[in-house]
Each structure stands twice: as structure tokens, then as C-alpha cells.
Amino acid sequence: MKTNVIKNFNDCTFIATREIPARISGVWRAFSESNLLDKWWAPKPWRCETKVMEFKPDGTWIYDMVGPRGERSGSLQTFKEIIFEKKISGKDAFLDKYGKVREELPVSEFEILFTPMGENTLITFLSKFKDKESLSLILELGLEEGLDMAFDNLEELLLNMK
């Protein structure tokens, strides 16, 4: 299936929706369990490697995207709100090799919504940035393409889990 994207530079938001051919229980597990996240979150040929996962309000997910030649790009998600099989929200930032937030790269507030659609699940992924420049930069870094590829990986993982 295709990821639908809306980029709104007036309110500095990026919204992606994707209907995944899997029940909400499996989709939720794929977002909430680090061993499953590591199998789909990174766009190929990159892979995801979780360092810390505390899936709870005020918890964190610290991970690296690892490239085919061993290059690493660190990230941090700080969870604000988690409603079982409905919503995950928080902040998303890039980390340097020492685990510090990279101030030169955008920090976003995110919200991921899960909506059951019979045998399928609609995922709505919203990122809000502080300004238009931050949204432009994250798009230049490949957010749209990377998320679409990750969702392809998610569909493949969930199909293999059946």
C-alpha cells in the first residue's frame, strides 16, 4: 500500500497515513517492542539497533540507524503519552556519537495514531516542527522516503508474523 503525505509549511507539520494489512494488535506490538522495531524501522539497506527502550510515559527509546558500511546515526524518542493500541506521542531528536542531542538538527513533537479498519490498521504519523526551516531540513534528510520504506518493511514483517 502507499503512504499518503501532507506537508504543511504554514503550521510546520508533516502528516503521513498508511493503511497496513494487519490487525491493530500486531501493528501495536511492532511499534512497542524493541526487538520488532529493530526489524522494520530503518529504510533498507540501513538497519535499526535499539540501545534503550522504556516504552512508558516519560520513557525513552534510544537507537542507532546503522548503515551498510557501519556508519551510525543516533536518535532519541521521549514518550509523553501512550494509550494502548490507540496513540503514542512524544519528542524525537537526533543524537551525536556521545548520546547528546544534536542542536543543529530539528527536534519534533510526534503523535502516532492507530485506527482499526477491520482486518487492517490505519497509522497516522504526525510530526510538528518549530519552524518552516526545520521541516524543510528534515524533508531534505529524507523523512518522507524513509518513512515510506520503513512502512514497507513493517508490512513485510507483519505478513511474516502471521
pLDDT digits (tens, 9 = 90+) for 85-132: 999 999 999 999 999 999 999 999 999 999 999 999 999 999 999 999
Q: How many residues would you count in the chain?
A: 162
Task: Give a yes or no: residue 21 inside a domain.
Answer: yes
Is 162 among the domain residues?
no
The boundaries of the domain holding residue 114 are: 4-156
Q: Could you tell me which residues are beta bridge partners of residue 125?
A: 16, 112
Please indicate whether residue 2 or residue 87 has the higher confidence score (pLDDT). Answer: 87
The answer to whether residue 144 sits within a structural domain is yes
Residue 38: inside a domain: yes
- Total domain count, the chain: 1
Q: Is residue 28 part of a domain?
A: yes
Higher pLDDT, 86 or 43: 86
Contact yes or no for 103/93 (Cβ under 8 A) = no
In whole angstroms, how far apart are CA 60 and each of 53, 128, 140, 159? 6, 19, 26, 28
> Residue 162's pLDDT is what?
73
pLDDT confidence of 1, banded at 50, 70, 90?
low
**Sequence-ordered list of residues with C-beta below 8 angstroms from that of 12, at least 6 positions apart, any chain:** 128, 129, 130, 131, 132, 134, 135
119 domain-assigned: yes
Residue 12 forms part of a structural domain: yes
Section 19-28 average pLDDT = 97
Domain membership flag for residue 161? no
Whichever domain contains 77, its CATH number is 3.30.530.20
